Amino acid sequence: MAKKILVVDDEPDVVTYLASVLRDNGYEALEAFNGEEAMEKVLKDRPDLVTLDITMPEMTGVKAYRKMKEDPGLSKIPVVIVTGVSHEFKQFISTRSQVPAPEGYIEKPVKPEELLAEVRRLLG
């Protein structure tokens, strides 16, 4: 059975691109366009991994990430942060003591081989 990956970004083109790369490589890609939608899908579909943009309307990626990591039923799902502010965000989130650091980071624009390498590293 294909591993389920939830792609979360408020830019439809980014979601389509990442989901297509994943589907073309044998993964089942689920799509969400903001943090609230992402949380609904995480609770309903229990993906094996989540790629998460940080800057989004409705609920930011930071808030969605925190909610996932604070929920014992969701905290084991690996999260890869996909953002254009990777270095600054990585420093910021790594200093937070409330939640663990994300399992991976990818800077935009995303290269397909980088995305697939992170997914394979985290899902085996």
Average pLDDT value for residue range 84-107: 72
Q: What DSSP state is assigned to residue 84?
A: T
> CA–CA separation, 42 vs 88, rounded Å?
26
The pTM of the full predicted model, rounded to 2 decimals, is 0.92
Overall average pLDDT of the 23-34 stretch: 98
- Cα dist from 75 to 24, 93, 106, 117, whole Å: 28, 16, 20, 22
The predicted structure's pLDDT at residue 93: 61
Taking only Cα atoms into account, the Rg of the chain, rounded to an integer number of angstroms, comes to 13
pLDDT digits (tens, 9 = 90+) for 13-25: 999 999 999 999 9
40: domain CATH number is: 3.40.50.2300
Q: Which residues lie below 8 Å from residue 4, measured CB to CB, with a gap of 6+?
A: 27, 28, 29, 30, 45, 46, 47, 48, 49
How many domains, in total, are found in the chain? 1
Q: Could you tell me the residue range of the domain that residue 50 belongs to?
A: 4-123
86: pLDDT strictly greater than 60: no
Q: Model confidence over 63-85: pLDDT tens digits? A: 999 999 999 999 999 999 998 76
